Amino acid sequence: MQNGYAPSGLAGIDFHEPAERAALRERVASEGGGWRIPVPAFDPEADPHNLAGLSAGQLAMMRERGTPQPFRTATQAMRRPEPLPGVPLTLIASTFPVAGVRQLAEAGNPAFSMMTGPQWTYRELPTGHWPMLSRPRELAALLDEVAGLGGPGRRP
């Protein structure tokens, strides 16, 4: 799962399978000095879903400009305000269809269960995890649309 709107008490690493967690821990130990997550390989053959829509040039740029991040950003439990502030919320689903999000939310999946209620709107932008690169115009149009939905701090 790509970290989205996770509930309090869970860390990003908790949303990965045990084998993926172990591989990440090993990579941090062997390539990250024990405390950093190395820059991903951004290999479209190994990760076609998340890297969908990206050109070879964009992938090369991501490898070149990528920066390792502290491992604690993945292992430290997140804390969310309880209850959540009463503001409008929008999910722009790119790697996962809205129907799947709703199904998991209704089933009580902890990563998605908070994504329900009248304050939520949903938009889809079918592409990989990097829509700002793979579909920048479409993403900008969606963000503009969402900004115009009304509510506190939003333009009419």
> Over its length of 156 residues, how does the chain's per-residue pLDDT go in tens digits?
333 456 788 898 988 899 999 999 999 999 999 999 999 999 999 999 999 999 999 999 999 999 999 999 999 998 877 666 777 789 999 998 999 999 998 898 877 888 888 888 999 999 999 999 999 999 999 999 988 865 444 444
HSE (side-chain half, CA atoms, 13 Å) at 149: 17
Amino acid, single-letter form, for residue 105: A
Within a domain: 75: yes
Within a domain: 134: yes
* Beta-strand pair 89-93/69-70: unpaired
Give dist(CA 79, CA 40) in Å, integer.
26
Residue 2 burial (CB < 10 Å; 0-12/13-18/19+)?
A: exposed
Across-strand partners of 92?
123
- Looking at residue 115, what is its pLDDT? 85
Within a domain: 1: no
Taking the model in full, what pTM does it have? 0.79
And the tokens for 57?
């040039």
Note the pLDDT tens digit of each residue in 112-142. Answer: 888 888 888 999 999 999 999 999 999 999 9
Domain span holding position 53: 12-147
- Looking at residue 2, what is its pLDDT? 37
Across-strand partners of 70?
36
Within a domain: 45: yes
On whether the CB atoms of residues 115 and 90 are closer than 8 A, the answer is no
- Looking at residue 89, what is its pLDDT? 86
Within a domain: 154: no
Residue 64 burial (CB < 10 Å; 0-12/13-18/19+)?
A: exposed
Within a domain: 3: no
For the chain, the domain total comes to: 1
And the tokens for 101?
């999000």
Amino acid, single-letter form, for residue 47: D
Within a domain: 4: no
- Looking at residue 119, what is its pLDDT? 83
Within a domain: 156: no
Q: Three-state DSSP class for 12?
A: helix
